[in-house]
């Protein structure tokens, strides 16, 4: 019986290539102006899972919580070699902070039941909290191995990983099930031509109901088309909050104690350049200055 690995991924606005209109006048992120991309470290998590598939024959499920459009990162996962894809989408889930998100995702893990490993990227580039992975592990009461670089070994009951720590690394061994958060330590594979051709028409029910640029389908048409795709193995599963038995008061806005108090639009102004003499003494002085204003150390 092969081990089951679940990878949580997220579609995020591309904050790495910011343009001038990235922020709205109100100081929130202008999602329309930023292209939606696969969160980079989630790609590292997926890569790690696919390497486990090659090494140990594990079964890889990819799941994401998000708007219907987030199905795009699920297809991108199928193109790279994931075996199964699930979209967790529901209006009730919107506005979630890390507490509500990790709760909903932990419900997703419970619903799947027999998961041996949960993989997450360390953090998403839109929030940079790095909290969701560890919080899922806490809610499931399973070991968490964070900042994982690679999996050293996987046997029937335990996993051994190498993780980054400040100034070095640690080798950790944990019983399974366990949760890993993965850092940018591998080179995510490109999408595969065969998989692209095979899965390019994979759709969720929401996508079937509202095809891009066309008139929405009737519920009957949607059901018929969904059944057709399912027969072809091209229906991406779509779950609601109720499907994963999530308590309504713990998800979405209602389940999120974090409130944004204020957003500041910081305008950086460049100050004068400072010349440092290219001598031992000059560099020493610079280092001391950087340490004393906490830029270094």
Residues 107-166 that bind another protein (CB under 8 A): none
| Binding residues for another protein restricted to 193-232, rule: CB under 8 A | 193-198, 200, 232
Region binding another protein by CB under 8 A among candidate stretches 66-74, 111-119, 191-199, 252-260: 191-199
- Binding region for another protein (CB under 8 A) out of 163-171, 189-197, 235-243, 255-263: 189-197
Q: Pick one of 113, 167, 190, 219: the residue that binds another protein (CB under 8 A).
A: 190
Q: Give the shortest CB-111-to-another protein separation in angstroms.
A: 28
Number of chain residues interacting with another protein (CB under 8 A): 14
> At its nearest, how many Å lie between another protein and the CB of residue 257?
37
Q: How far is CA 197 from the centre of its chain?
A: 25
In whole angstroms, how close is the CB of 53 to another protein at the nearest point? 13
Taking the C-alpha atoms of 109, 113, 114 and 118 in order, what is their torsion angle to the nearest 10 degrees?
A: 10
CB 149, min distance to another protein, A: 18
Output DSSP code: residue 14.
Answer: -
Long-range pairs of 240-243 with CB within 8 A, sequence gap ≥ 24: 240/88, 240/89, 240/90, 240/92, 241/88, 241/90, 241/92, 241/93, 241/104, 241/107, 242/90, 243/111
Closest CB to another protein among residues 134, 188: 188
Tell me which residue has tokens 């799941």: 63
Q: How far apart are CA 126 and CA 291, in angstroms?
A: 29
Backbone angles phi, psi at 163, to 5 degrees: -125, 155
> What is the closest distance, in whole angstroms, from the C-beta atom of residue 272 to another protein in the complex?
27
| Closer to another protein by Cβ: residue 35 or 216 | 35
Residue 233 beta carbon to another protein: minimum distance, rounded to whole angstroms: 8
192 touches another protein (CB under 8 A):
yes
Burial of 145 (0-12, 13-18, 19+ CB in 10 A): buried
Which range binds another protein by CB under 8 A, 25-33, 185-193, 245-253, 285-293?
185-193
3-state helix, strand, coil in the chain (%, to 5): 35, 25, 40
Among 29, 67, 112, 191, binds another protein (CB under 8 A): 191
* 146 in Cβ contact with 68 (< 8 Å): no
CA distance 114 to 120: 17
Q: Which residues are at the interface with another protein (CB under 8 A)?
A: 187, 189-198, 200, 232-233
């Amino acid at each position: 019986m092969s081990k089951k690995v679940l990878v949580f991924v997220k579609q995020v606005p591309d904050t790495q290539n910011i343009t001038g209109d990235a922020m709205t006048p109100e100081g929130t992120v202008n999602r329309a102006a930023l292209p939606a991309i696969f969160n980079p470290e989630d790609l590292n998590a997926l890569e790690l899972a696919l390497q486990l598939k090659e090494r140990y024959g594990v079964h890889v499920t990819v799941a994401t919580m998000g708007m219907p459009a987030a199905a795009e990162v699920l297809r991108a996962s199928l193109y790279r070699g994931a075996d199964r894809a699930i979209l967790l989408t529901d209006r009730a889930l919107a506005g979630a902070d890390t507490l509500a998100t990790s709760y909903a995702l932990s419900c997703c893990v419970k619903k799947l039941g027999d998961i041996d490993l949960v993989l997450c990227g360390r953090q998403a580039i839109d929030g940079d909290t790095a909290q969701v992975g560890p919080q899922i592990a806490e809610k499931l009461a399973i070991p968490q191995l964070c900042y994982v670089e690679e999996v050293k070994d996987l046997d029937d009951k335990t996993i051994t990983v190498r993780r980054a720590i400040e100034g070095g690394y640690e080798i950790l061994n944990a019983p399974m099930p366990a949760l890993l958060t993965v850092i940018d330590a591998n080179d995510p594979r490109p999408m595969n031509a065969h998989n692209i051709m095979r899965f390019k028409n994979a759709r969720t029910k929401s996508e079937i109901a509202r095809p891009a640029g066309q008139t929405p389908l009737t519920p009957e048409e949607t059901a018929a088309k969904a059944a057709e795709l399912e027969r072809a193995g091209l229906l991406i599963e779509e779950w609601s909050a109720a499907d994963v038995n999530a308590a309504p008061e713990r998800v979405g806005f209602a389940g999120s104690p974090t409130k944004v108090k204020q957003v500041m639009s910081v305008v950086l102004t460049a100050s004068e350049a400072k010349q440092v003499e290219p001598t031992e003494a000059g560099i020493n002085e610079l280092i001391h200055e950087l340490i004393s204003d906490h830029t270094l150390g």
